[in-house]
Structure 1
Amino acid sequence: MHVNVIPRRLALLMAGLVALALPVAFGQSATASTPSPVTWHVRVGTETPDMAVSAMSFLPRQVWINRGDTVHWTAGSAEPHTVTFLAPGTTLPDFNPFDTTQTTAQGTHRYDGTAYTNSGIIATQPIFTFTKPAASYDLKFTKTGNFTYYCLLHGVMMKGVVHVRAAGTAYPYTQADYNQVGHQQGQVLLARGMRAWQEAKEAHPATGGAVQVGIDGMGFSVMRFIRTHATVHVGQSVSFAVAGPGAPHTVTFGQEPPIPAVLMPSGDPTHYAGGDLNSGVIAPGTPFVVTFTKAGKFSYICAIHDGMGMVGDVTVLP
């Protein structure tokens, strides 16, 4: 009698489990053809370990996703960027660091291609006036199409494309593919920046009164004064110049002016013997020339990128 009790109970238990499992199994089978939304990852810029050279690019620059998927952008550099989709028919605006529609998040986290949508400032650390940058940004795509987006700070030189196809379309690439391509693209841009930096240092004499302020190329920026240590004599001048349009820079001696005054010139560069002196944002083709009237060692910074190591000094000999 007792020998058959356990098998019978076991049989009943197994039958119950099968009965419970059948709806689940059938439910899973019925929904297996409906793919779950996927989150794709894109890096926003990258940089060398010392933050001297930044790659101004979305990495990778293009992704192919399906409707309902999400793209997750992650800050890859201290140099600030945005992820910005313009409203149809509008043009890329000049960047204004005090325009909150450019520096803070705008729109929802769902995108259908019809409205201005912006991440706000994305960066790995506070920089300049952007004291609380976002570390990442998510956007879910609810409509098919090819959507171009920009970094508002760096304009057409830094743009990407999200290709959105119908839900259920086979993906042409995996996240591993995108990671590999993005890494390769970033390394190419950093290598170009390092090469341009080295060539600029070789082209500048070890002594004399010329200092190049940063370097900007297609897809990269060098956040350094090309000669960080200049030497002149009393009565001589140092000319600080930017080579062309790109990241904004200042030459700031002494106490750094508050924001936004730091963007405007202050002090007298024609007779500098120490103290506070600021170039404001240096325009291409208009060097900031400082004439030194006192011997000593005078340190200066780029007030925008000093946190990235953009500093220098001038030694003035008798």
Structure 2
Amino acid sequence: MPGKSLLRRLILAVISVTALILPVAVGSSASASTSEHATWHRHHTWHVRVGAETPDMAVTAMAFLPKNIWVDVGDTVHWTSNSAEPHTVTFLKPGTSLPAFDPSNTTQTQRQGPSSYNGTAYTNSGIMATQPIFTFTNPATSYRLRFTAAGDFTYYCLVHGVMMKGRVHVRPAGTPYPYTQRDYDRVGNHHAQALLHNGLIAWRQALHAQATGHSVRVGIEGEGFAVMRFIRSHVVVHRGHTVRFFVAGPGAPHTVTFGQEPPIPAVLGPSGDPTHYAGGNLNSGVLQPGKPFDVTFTKTGRFHYICAIHDGMGMVGDVTVVR
């Protein structure tokens, strides 16, 4: 868990990442050499990472890295998946609103549209992740689009909505580039570091606040980050007592699933009787803020549970019931 030295690093990282969020010059590259610009007038490929995570996948950053990128007409942007948490790169059709994510909707979860983009049509990468997760057994690891029209184009991750969006600024062919790929990599790294540190701090604070073993917080969502863990994942209670599982606010979907994991789409809804649990199959379905999942344990033993969506990222826990 981060101490004072990490907090100091966090402050420095946040200061550094300002250049990523705002359209201002990054370092000395804003005035790159004339010879560099002359070389770059050829069509160029730019790289953006999709998400970030700690080595144990406990904390994930919900961000495009960098958030803003400046390219010329004819250039290509190459997005690369950088976390196990699923994301999409989605450009909406002008005049349409951002939809709620539906994992059963193939227009959201599978690639849509051509390999070039002119700002007029719905274009989607489909699910991107570094490993299979939940129902997404074959996620894309990268996605490319060639930009054929000038304009400022906002795109989203459909899974995480407005909290995860980026923008591609496309200028006429031959326009000098304000930043280099090295600039984008540097500020992207700083942004990711800041978000992951914020997640680690939020996790530590939640552990201190969660004083009782009779409640388990399911995940943590913050500004641009999520903690994919049960807070106090190992608890001990007496037989006949109740453990409350809850989410504190909107964010990534989670379940509390004991026993055998139900098939899709049944896992998204509740099943079993949580009022008299003595083992076997029990599932909360996707938890909603303000609607806790209370499980009363009527038998001694150790009962394992998972988040059916994020167990591959290590989101698991257990309840030990004693007399």
Q: 2:296 aligned to 253, 274, 291, which one?
A: 291
Match of 2:245 in 1: 240
Q: Which amino acid aligns with 2:294?
A: V
By how many angstroms is 1:208 displaced? 2.6
Match of 2:314 among 300, 303, 309: 309
Amino acid at match of 1:203: A
Query: What secondary structure sits across from 2:47 in the alignment?
Result: strand
Cα distance, 1:218 vs. partner? 1.0
| 1:75 is the counterpart of 2:71 | no
Structure 2 residue 177 is matched with structure 1 residue 171: yes
For 1:100, the equivalent position in structure 2 comes to 106
- Which residue, out of 121, 139, 149, partners 1:143? 149
2:263 paired with 1:263:
no
Which structure 2 residues correspond to residues 3-82 of structure 1 after superposition, within 5 A? 35-82=41-88
After superposition, the C-alpha distances for 1:267-297 in whole angstroms (9 at most, x for unaligned) are: 0000000000000001110000000000111
Give the direction of change, closer, same or farther, for the CA distance of 1:283–1:180 in structure 2 (3 Å limit): same
Distance 1:230 1:34 in 2: 58
Map of 1:187 onto structure 2: 193
1:157 aligned to 135, 153, 163, which one? 163
In the superposition, the TM-score normalised over structure 2's length comes to 0.87
Cα deviation per residue 1:5-26 (whole Å; 9 max; x = unaligned)?
xxxxxxxxxxxxxxxxxxxxxx
Give the secondary structure class of the aligned counterpart of 2:156: strand
SS in structure 2 of the partner of residue 173 of structure 1:
coil
| Aligned equivalent of 2:8 | none
Return the offset for 1:204. 1.1
> 1:183-222 maps to which residues of 2 (within 5 A)?
183-205=189-211, 207-222=212-227
The one-letter code matched in structure 2 to 1:53 is V
Shift of 1:151: 0.2
Alignment match, 2:92: 86
Residue 273 (structure 1) aligns with: 278
Identity of aligned residues (%): 71
**Paired positions, count:** 286
1: distance between equivalents of 2:286 and 2:65? Answer: 29
Cα deviation, 1:168-194, whole Å, max 9, x if unaligned, reads: 010000000000010001111001000
Q: CA-to-partner distance for each residue in 1:147-186, whole Å, 9 max, x for gaps? A: 0000000000000000000100100000000000100011
Give the secondary-structure state (helix, strand or coil) at the position aligned to 2:206. Answer: helix
Alignment pair present for 1:230 and 2:207: no
SS of 2:288's partner is: coil
After TM superposition, give the deviation of residue 33 of structure 1 in Å: 8.4
User: 2:117–2:148: 8 Å Cα contact kept in structure 1?
Assistant: yes
Matching residue's letter, 2:155? Y
Task: Go from structure 1 to structure 2 and tell me whether the alpha carbon gap of 1:33 and 1:285 turns closer, same or farther (over 3 Å shift).
Answer: closer
| Cα distance between partner residues in 2 of 1:183 and 1:208 | 37
Deviation at 1:35, TM superposition (A): 2.6
Higher normalized contact order (CA 8 Å, seq sep 6+, divided by chain length): 2
The residue type equivalent to 1:213 in the other structure is: V
Q: Deviations over 1:66-122 (max 9, x none)?
A: 000000000000000000000000000000000000000000010000000000000
Could you tell me whether the CA contact under 8 Å between 2:213 and 2:232 is conserved in 1?
Answer: no
Tell me, what secondary structure is at the counterpart of 1:101?
Answer: helix
Aligned alpha-carbon RMSD (Å)? 1.0
Residue ranges of structure 2 left out of the alignment (5+ in a row): 1-37
Map Cα deviations across residues 35-91 of structure 1 (whole Å, 9 max, x no partner): 310000000000000000000000000000000000000000000000000000000
